[in-house]
Amino acid sequence: MDATYLQQFLSHSARSATRSEIRELLKLLSRPEVISLGGGLPSPELFPIDELADLLPRVLHEHGSVALQYGPTEGDAGLIQELIRFMAEDGVPGLGPERVLVVSASQQALDLCARVFLSPNDTVVCDLPSYIGALGAFSACGARLAGVPMDEEGTRTDVLEQRLVELRHGGIRPKLVYTIPDFQNPAGVTLSARRRHDLLAIAREFDLLVIEDSPYRRLRYVGENPPSLASLDRDGRVVSLFTFSKMLFPGLRLGWIVAAPEIVTRLVTAKQSVDLCTSALSQVLAREYLRTGALEPLLARMRACYAVKRAAFLAALAREIDPALGVRWTRPEGGMFLWMMLPPQMDARRLLERSLAENVAFVTGSSFHCDGSGKNTLRLNFSYPTLDQIDTAVGRLARAIASVAGERIDVDELPPIRPPVVSGEYSLDQLSLTLALTEVVV
């Protein structure tokens, strides 16, 4: 069917998700010699293939009639018990099963939250920058996004408060604050304990729900975790999202939501029309895996591997990038990403072109900014490349940075990808640029 003819049948949100003119970059990216620092992918050598090869036949023989069947929308009761135990070990004791919903990983949790809480023109407050998949899910429901800047302690809660007052004066009452408190995607920073308390106090004052999205919490390499927002929640306004994607493997497509029972009930109803239930095979496999006690040793292996990669990445950046260029980057204590800030006059898209010519890919930062800012920023992933690739890629990136710094191009002269938006709809055009660049941006 002709694409133009198809337009008349498309929904509003599908119509706004148009493709960008980045075919040239795409051609470059498909070359095997390109080292990708773009995705948020786990390192495949950490997948517990041997353990699963033993476990899977047992799951089929002993639990096949459940694992291959439809299951309850809420999730497998045995898995929920394991998740309750897991949450108790992380400061959330005594959860009842009515507070847990098993989902097809966190992206579905975000979609369900968007469906349940957001009507067109509702406002969500999020970080500048924030996770692309969440911005996309909220925007698909017609929500407006209001951004709040971050610093090394995470969300600037003082600015958040100011912003909420301003919005209130303008007659806008946001419903949700979306936060990734642990090793934020994309910035790599962690919300400090003090700011977690501040955030919850502000949510109470302005009557907001808080969505805590925490895929990386168990991947800490330095220091200690502050308490989760779920553990600090006293009035049932926190909806916490967790996933096995980064702790076990993303192909499982399995995660869970912890929330007040009334919220879980609404999410269950929404999930029924999305996928009826999460894959029973994934759930039974995860349940039995957790019961073997293999998850903690696996997490220890992951932390050991990523700690070395993180250190190698930071060391390579310090070695390769000329301090005189004024480039800065975050030093994440966990997770999978570093955030790089180029001097304000340098454009990360220009750097991407240069960098792809050197066979290194990354995701430009403006895609993560709901207000179109962050032109001079980029996200770098350190979990997926090998140590050799990290050394090579950072050396090439440093060369690309030096060459762009030498160009003295005025960023305002570069062709715009899209007009900037201020607290408006997140442009799916921008999202598709990033998606097309790295296939799946997680």
Name the residues that contact ligand PLP, by CB under 6 A: 40, 105-107, 131, 133, 180, 185, 213, 215, 243, 245, 250, 255, 442
Judge contact between 350 and 404, C-beta under 8 A.
yes
> Smallest gap, in angstroms, from Cβ of residue 145 to ligand PLP?
15
At closest approach, how far in Å is the CB of 34 from ligand PLP? 21
* Shortest reach from residue 208's CB to ligand PLP, in Å: 19
Nearer to ligand PLP (CB atom), residue 101 or residue 400 = 101
Q: Is 243 helix (H, G, I), strand (E, B) or coil?
A: strand
Residue 306 contacts residue 144 (beta carbons within 8 Å)? no
DSSP string, 152-203: TTEE-HHHHHHHHHHHHHTT----EEEE--SS-TTT-----HHHHHHHHHHH
Radius of gyration of the chain (CA): 22
- Buried/exposed 148-166: b ≥16 CB within 10 Å, e otherwise: bebeeebbbbeebbebbee
SS (H, E, C) 35-88: EECCCCCCCHHHCCHHHHHHHHHHHHHHHHHHHCCCCCCCCCHHHHHHHHHHHH
| Nearest alpha carbon to residue 145 among 170, 165, 118 | 118
Output the smallest distance, CB 354 to ligand PLP, in A.
26
Token pair of 57 as six digits: 């036949």
State the nearest-atom distance from the C-beta of 214 to ligand PLP, in Å.
8
Query: Do 349 and 417 contact (CB within 8 A), yes or no?
Result: yes
Q: Closest separation between CB of residue 275 and ligand PLP, Å?
A: 13
CB closer to ligand PLP, 111 vs 288:
111
Q: Is 329 or 337 the residue whose CB approaches ligand PLP more closely?
A: 337
Q: Which of 131/362 has CB closer to ligand PLP?
A: 131
User: How, if at all, do strands 209-213 and 176-179 pair?
Assistant: parallel
Question: Which helix (H) or strand (E) segment is 149 a member of?
Answer: strand 144-151
In angstroms, the CA 310 to CA 315 distance is 9
- Whole-angstrom distance, CA of residue 295 vs CA of residue 287: 11
Minimum CB separation from ligand PLP for residue 170, in Å? 29
Query: Which is nearer to ligand PLP, 246 or 350 (by Cβ)?
Result: 246
Residue 85: closest CA among 291, 388, 284, 233? 291
Name the DSSP class of 392: H
Contact (CB, 8 A) for 433 and 23: no
Least distance CB 134 / ligand PLP (angstroms): 6
Residue 149 Cβ, how far from ligand PLP at the closest point, in Å?
A: 18
Q: How far is the CB of 130 from ligand PLP (least distance, A)?
A: 8
Q: Is the CB of 242 or the CB of 329 nearer to ligand PLP?
A: 242
Residue 243 or 427 with smaller CB distance to ligand PLP: 243
Classify residue 421 as left (phi > 0), alpha (psi -120 to 50) or beta: beta
**Of residues 157 and 243, the one with the C-beta less far from ligand PLP:** 243
Q: How far, CA to CA in Å, does 4 sit from each of 7, 18, 259, 428, 433?
A: 5, 12, 43, 18, 20
Q: Which is nearer to ligand PLP, 184 or 427 (CB)?
A: 184
Q: Which is nearer to ligand PLP, 180 or 401 (by Cβ)?
A: 180
